[in-house]
Amino acid sequence: MATDPATAHAHPPVLPENHASLIVQGRDSTGIVAAVSAVLSGHGANIVSLDQYSDDPHQGGAFYQRTVFSLDNLRAVLPALERDLADELSAGFDLDFTLRDMSVPKRVAVFASKEDHCLLDLLWRHRRGQLPVTITMVVSNHTDTAEEVRAFGVPFVHVPTMELGKSAAEAEHLRLLRGNVDFVVLARYMQILSGDFIARLGVPIINIHHSFLPAFIGSGPYAKAKERGVKLVGATAHYVTEDLDEGPIIEQDVVRVTHADTLADIRRRGADVERTVLARAVRWHSEDRVIRSDNSTIVFA
């Protein structure tokens, strides 16, 4: 019997049972780490990793903490733990927190246009178990990648923006996505999202921009880089906001180029960086390692 290519190489991601992530952020003050640890230990939780950062008090004195802990019978205990954390952190602190069962993978929809390298890289890494997410669907305004996506066993949905018009296409995107995804990835998706869509979708959107931002915002960054005679090109993964390519940066990297590189050479070298940068950003976001703060991020990688 023929092996299904979609599952032939499939390695489901290893998700830790009875492990949760706790993200705490807000105004820094003494006693936060002790208070959080006391609530966790009071429920019998064992902290397996803890990262914490405090801004300089002159910079507003913000506090950020990522804790991962194990706790038997986690699902049954989580509601009571959340209540106790809310009680403790609202008494005398100015903090917000999120608590998440890490055995439940985040659901992600991936948007693409014609370029396939970032999309196929994510699908390939996911099939090898390197991305602890559930890819619910791929949405594209073109059909170029349909067959390859379906070969991974992932639903492919064509939403023809040009024919429908941007607002009708965004309405269809919302119908497909709302309530069904925890975040969205734009894998070289070449349509500018409206602020209204971003607000109504209500989940984080990660974009891979093919330049070392803030250089060369907008379309055609490699051509602009070639024209400028740069010696480095790069890629930037960032959260999407209404302001094009201005959202909080999650990860960046660069590669050297020379005067002898053609635009095709630059695109080839840059594509490798795009794939690596996007995969890091998606993995870190899926593991709750990225905390947004104003127009920046704290990344506990």
Ligand X SMILES: Nc1nc2c(c(=O)[nH]1)N[C@@H](CN(C=O)c1ccc(C(=O)N[C@@H](CCC(=O)O)C(=O)O)cc1)CN2
Residues with a known catalytic role: 245
Nearer to ligand X, 7 or 194 (CB): 194
Nearer to ligand X, 32 or 233 (CB): 233
- Please name the residues in contact with 26: beta carbons below 8 A apart, sequence gap of 6 or more: 62, 63, 93, 94, 95, 96
Q: ∠ CA(138), CA(141), CA(142), 5° rounding? A: 90
Site of tokens 């975040």: 183
Closest distance of CB 209 from ligand X, Å: 4
- Give the integer Cα–Cα distance in Å for 103 and 133: 10
> Which residues contact ligand X (rule: CB under 6 A)?
186, 189-193, 207, 209, 218-219, 240, 242, 244-245, 247
Residue 85 DSSP SS3: helix
- Residue 177 CB, shortest distance to ligand X, in Å, is 15
Residue type at position 111:
F
Q: How far is the CB of 247 from ligand X (least distance, A)?
A: 6
Nearest approach, Cβ of residue 238 and ligand X (Å): 7
Cα 11 to Cα 190: distance, rounded to the nearest angstrom:
31
Closer to ligand X by CB, 127 or 267: give it. Answer: 267
Least distance from ligand X to the Cβ atom of residue 120, Å: 18
Q: Using CA atoms in the order 217, 219, 223, 229, what is the torsion angle rounded to 10 degrees?
A: -10
| Torsional sign, CA 238, 239, 244, 246 | negative
Identify which of residues 192 and 223 has a Cβ nearer to ligand X in the complex.
192
Cα–Cα dist 26/85, whole Å: 14
**Cα(40)–Cα(43) distance, integer angstroms:** 5
